[in-house]
A and B are shown apart, each in its own frame.
Chain A
Amino acid sequence: MTVLLSVKKAFNVALATSLVHLYPPKHHTRALRILEEVLSDDPNNVDCLMGRGYVLQRTEKWLEAASCFSRVSDARLEETRDTIRAQEEHAWCEVQMNHLDGAIAELRTVIELLENQDDSDEDKARSWWRLGRAYWEMGGERLVPNLSPHISKLFSVDHREEAYKHFFTALKQSSSFAPAFTSLGIYYSEAANPLDPIRASKCFQKAFELDAREGDAARRLAEGFAEEREWDLVEVVANRTIEGEGEHEESQGIIAGRYLPVNAWAWKASGVVHLVGFLSFTVHYARLTARVEQTKISFCDPGFPGSTAC
């Protein structure tokens, strides 16, 4: 007979994990409090270490986050789904810290490990996309030093082309992986030869359709619509982005949390749309008033019949 005293802990772990992933980083303060409580009793709790890592990633504390994920991989010797994910997140922290060569090697290992896992298409897509992002961070053509630019160009490598291939591989693994569409859109609008703004716009639209949290795609879409003065579409994109970050959560009767806007541009865009709408409304009424005034003048014109009434 054994005794389980972990009911409360199990609920706390489930609660904290959900608070980490629900409209991040809206509930992270509350999640972190619960995570710290559980970790003080059980310092190697995998779910809590992962949760803490995700919270630290959101605050861009990449070094501390990487240490959390390392603890998970070190705590479990055999390769499980959690350890593979921890390795992947560790590699992603390395990418953000610009330790690109190490991160690329680690991500390739993760992709190999995922090949043996069933039902891991989303994980594979994310890993390929992250590998692509690592190459993207390496930048465009790197000229070899101490050689003339002409010869150096022959030996140079455009890492963004490599990144492009990996973004495509990510989509082959999971055709609904939104971040890959965003990255492809950025490639078409900034790095493709020749640039292809139409295809880029289609990619941003697809990314935003799949996931309203794709802030970069949404911002670029909204900018495009604003340049074309399509204010209704700007408003739709801005409102959906605001909804995607959980602004309307309380209205659905869900737990209260202090609203932390992530995409400030969406609020600005919404404000501009309302201002434009208000201005056009004002201009319309100003014109109407001017017309009435003109009519009034013509009524008051001495030559007008009955003008003595003015």
Chain B
Amino acid sequence: MAEVYLYDQDYQSTITVSETGLELVNRHRDDTGTDLVLYVTFVARDLD
């Protein structure tokens, strides 16, 4: 969402969304003791 706002040059909304996102990332770290990790799974043919 931040990327979309940034592409649209809506800087105020990008700032709001990025700050909210960073807050969520930090809260996740505080709650679980780990940094946020995103897993992306490829289909088997991509690994060949």
Contact = CB atoms under 8 A, between A and B. Distances in A.
Interface of A: 1-5, 7-8, 10-12, 14-15, 17-19, 21-22, 254-255
Contacts of A254: 12, 15
A8 to B, nearest CB: 5
**Chain A binding surface, main DSSP class:** helix
Chain B interface, >50% SS class:
helix
Contacts of A255: 15-16, 19
A27 to B, nearest CB: 8
7 contacts: A1-B39, A5-B35, A5-B37, A7-B21, A11-B18, A15-B2, A15-B14
Contacts of B48: none
Contacts of B14: 14-15, 17-18
A22 to B, nearest CB: 4
Contacts of A19: 11, 15
Contacts of B22: 8, 11-12, 15
Given A1-B41, A254-B12, A15 B36 contact: no
B40 A18 contact: no
A3 B40 CA distance: 7
Contact of A8 (B9, B11, B16, B36): B36
